[in-house]
């Protein structure tokens, strides 16, 4: 049984660890059914949870007819969570059928095109084998093929750093987030100003995406977050500093060098559009959509700061 929802981190001076996210009422109703089978006493329900790149085992706390997800420091600190942050949660109760899982509301929006997945391969792809173009020179169908129809990419649509406070995957929905990305990239409009990303092609197939745009275009990078601001003192709204915030590689082409080629292309893309510097924020542990240290180092970035044990700010000045 799996559930996906968003909730706000809050502090409650009850049992440790003090920080929690409340399970929404609809999801809590289904969990109460599960608790009759899986609870080990006092209404406690063992689960697995995931926020961002952090997955852990815990137990839900019953409170006022609902449930709370405890957030220990081992979860909050890697994800840089604080009171008031809205987070997307994946909750998993093992060994139970999905019959009690709330179904998403039907949408009147046209369903996204189903794109068949390419067969996997481990053969490296060199930069010379790729054609990398500004996103406005790619079609929207090609970008949809890269993001796919399942997994985090098909829910986030590269909007993690562009969403406003209190917005989340769940509150906005994939159709809205996809529409935002389409507007940002101007896919298919070769006359538009290209300032929001790159698409990579291999043998004519779209295989990768890299988000590269002015740092000030990302509301969640302008907050007083540890990444990228701890130990730094500069103008957050400087339009001449750009940022690489996301990589997406199509299923079947991952771990073959596509991200490395996109990072190098992002350097030229930003420089040609007047940037005086370009930054990236790799995750040493997961890498994931923000990229790895090796990806940026290979493209000529150097370390500007290290605001945590697993995150760094890498930068290249022009």
- For residue 17, say if its preceding peptide bond is cis, omega within 30 degrees of 0: yes
Looking at the fold, whether 72 and 8 belong to one and the same domain comes out as yes
Number of structural domains the chain divides into: 2
Looking at the fold, whether 60 and 152 belong to one and the same domain comes out as no
Looking at the fold, whether 148 and 255 belong to one and the same domain comes out as yes
Half-sphere exposure for 54 (CA within 13 Å, toward CB): 18
Q: Which residues of the chain have pLDDT under 70?
A: 13-17, 33-44, 94-121, 287
Looking at the fold, whether 72 and 198 belong to one and the same domain comes out as no
Q: Give the tens place of pLDDT for each residue, 161-183.
A: 999 988 888 889 999 999 999 99
Query: pLDDT value at position 125?
Result: 94
**Which CATH number does the domain housing residue 229 bear?**
3.40.630.30
Nearest-angstrom CA–CA distance, 156 and 277: 26
Looking at the fold, whether 132 and 94 belong to one and the same domain comes out as no
Detail the DSSP E strand segments found in 250-291: 277-280
| Chain position carrying tokens 């660890």 | 17
Query: pLDDT value at position 85?
Result: 82
Q: Count CB neighbours of 111 within 10 A.
A: 8
Order of strands across the sheet that contains 277-280: 130-134, 198-202, 205-214, 241-249, 277-280, 313-317, 302-305
272 membership: H or E segment, kind and range: helix 258-272
State which residues form the domain around 193.
127-317
105 in a domain, yes or no? no
Query: pLDDT value at position 117?
Result: 42
Q: Count CB neighbours of 303 within 10 A.
A: 13
Q: Are 58 and 16 in contact (CB under 8 A)?
A: no
Choosing from 44, 77, 98, the residue where a domain stops is: 98
> Which of 288, 280, 306 lies closest to 153, judged by CA?
288
Query: pLDDT value at position 174?
Result: 92
Query: pLDDT value at position 35?
Result: 62
Query: pLDDT value at position 110?
Result: 42
Query: pLDDT value at position 94?
Result: 64
Query: pLDDT value at position 224?
Result: 79
Looking at the fold, whether 255 and 188 belong to one and the same domain comes out as yes
Q: Count CB neighbours of 252 within 10 A.
A: 14
> Which of 280, 279, 300, 297 lies closest to 288, judged by CA?
280
Q: Count CB neighbours of 23 within 10 A.
A: 25
11 DSSP β-pair partners: 19
305 DSSP β-pair partners: 313
> Which of 273, 291, 285, 290 lies closest to 309, judged by CA?
285
Looking at the fold, whether 88 and 131 belong to one and the same domain comes out as no
**Predicted TM-score (pTM) above 0.95:** no
45 in a domain, yes or no? yes
121 in a domain, yes or no? no
Looking at the fold, whether 233 and 279 belong to one and the same domain comes out as yes
Query: pLDDT value at position 142?
Result: 96
Nearest-angstrom CA–CA distance, 238 and 140: 30
Query: pLDDT value at position 13?
Result: 63
Query: pLDDT value at position 287?
Result: 67
247 DSSP β-pair partners: 210
Cα dihedral 268/274/276/281 (nearest 10): -60
Looking at the fold, whether 93 and 136 belong to one and the same domain comes out as no
Looking at the fold, whether 133 and 22 belong to one and the same domain comes out as no
Nearest-angstrom CA–CA distance, 301 and 62: 48
Query: pLDDT value at position 17?
Result: 54
């Amino acid at each position: 049984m799996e559930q996906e929802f968003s909730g706000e981190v809050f502090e409650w001076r009850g049992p440790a660890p003090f920080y929690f996210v409340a399970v929404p009422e609809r999801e809590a109703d289904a969990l109460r059914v599960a608790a009759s089978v899986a609870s080990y006493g006092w209404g406690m329900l063992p689960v697995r949870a995931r926020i961002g790149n952090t997955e852990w085992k815990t137990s839900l706390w019953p409170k006022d007819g609902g449930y709370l997800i405890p957030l220990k420091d081992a979860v909050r600190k890697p994800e840089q969570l604080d009171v008031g942050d809205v987070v997307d949660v994946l909750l998993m109760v093992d060994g139970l059928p999905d019959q009690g899982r709330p179904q998403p509301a039907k949408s009147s929006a046209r369903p996204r095109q189903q794109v068949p997945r390419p067969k996997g391969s481990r053969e490296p792809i060199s930069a010379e084998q790729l054609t990398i173009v500004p996103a406005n020179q790619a079609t929207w169908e090609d970008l949809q093929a890269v993001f796919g129809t399942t997994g985090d990419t098909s829910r986030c649509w590269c909007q993690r750093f562009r969403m406003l406070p209190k917005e989340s995957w769940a509150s906005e929905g994939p159709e809205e987030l996809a529409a935002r990305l389409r507007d940002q990239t101007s896919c298919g409009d070769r006359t538009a100003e290209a300032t929001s990303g790159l698409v990579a092609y291999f043998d004519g197939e779209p295989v990768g995406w890299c988000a590269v745009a002015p740092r000030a275009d990302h509301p969640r990078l302008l907050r007083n977050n540890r990444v990228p601001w701890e130990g730094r003192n500069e103008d957050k709204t400087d339009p001449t500093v750009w940022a690489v915030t996301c990589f997406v590689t199509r299923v079947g082409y991952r771990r073959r060098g596509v991200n490395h080629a996109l990072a190098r292309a992002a350097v030229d893309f930003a420089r040609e559009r007047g940037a005086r510097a370009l930054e990236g924020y790799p995750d040493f542990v997961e890498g994931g959509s923000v990229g790895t240290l090796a990806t940026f180092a290979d493209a000529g970035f150097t370390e500007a700061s290290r605001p945590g044990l697993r995150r760094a700010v890498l930068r290249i000045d022009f």
